Amino acid sequence: MNILGIESSCDETAAAVYTDEGLRSNIIASQAVHEQYGGVVPELASRAHHKTIWRTIEQALTEADTSLQAIDAVAVTQGPGLMGSLLVGLCFAKGLCLSRDIPLVGVNHMDAHIYANFIEGQPNYPFVSLTVSGGHTQLVHVKGPFDHTLLGETRDDAAGEAFDKIGKILGLPYPAGPVIDQRAKEGDTMFHDFPQAMLDNDFEFSFSGLKTSVMYYLEDQDDQAGFLEDHLDDVCASVSRAITEVLVKKLANAIEHTEVDTIVLAGGVSANSMLRQKAQTLAKERGCQLHIPQLAYCTDNAAMIAITGYMMAQRNQFADMNLKPFANLASK
Q: What is the pLDDT of residue 50?
A: 85
CB atoms within 10 A of CB 47: 16
Q: Are residues 110 and 240 in the same domain?
A: no
Q: Are residues 181 and 279 in the same domain?
A: yes
Q: Are residues 184 and 255 in the same domain?
A: yes
Number of folded domains that form the chain? 2
Q: What is the pLDDT of residue 261?
A: 97
Q: Are residues 276 and 128 in the same domain?
A: yes
Q: What is the pLDDT of residue 36?
A: 63
* H or E segment and range at residue 13: strand 12-19
CATH number, position 199: 3.30.420.40
Q: Which domain holds residue 282?
A: 123-292
* Sequence ranges of the binding site: 109, 113, 131-135, 164, 177, 181, 272, 300
Q: What is the pLDDT of residue 329?
A: 73
* Sequence ranges of the binding site for substrate: 131-135, 164, 177, 181, 272
Backbone angles phi, psi at 18, to 5 degrees: -125, 130
Global pTM value: 0.94
Assign 51 to helix, strand or coil.
helix
β-bridge partners, 19: 22
Q: Which residues of 162-177 are buried (b: 16+ CB within 10 A; e: fewer)?
A: bbbbbbebbebebbbb
Q: Are residues 303 and 280 in the same domain?
A: no
Mean pLDDT by 10 residues, the chain (332 residues): 95 94 92 64 80 95 97 97 94 97 97 97 97 94 97 96 95 93 98 96 96 97 96 98 98 98 97 98 98 95 98 97 88 52
Q: Distance of CA 239 to CAs 126, 190, 308, Å? A: 32, 10, 33
Q: What is the pLDDT of residue 113?
A: 97
Range 284-290 contact pairs with CB under 8 angstroms and sequence separation of 24 or more: 286/252, 286/255, 287/261, 288/255, 288/260, 288/261, 288/262, 288/263, 289/123, 289/124, 289/261, 289/262, 289/263, 290/262, 290/263, 290/264, 290/265
* Sequence ranges of the binding site for Fe cation: 109, 113, 300
Q: Are residues 175 and 249 in the same domain?
A: yes
Q: Where are the beta strands (DSSP E) in 226-295?
A: 262-266, 289-291
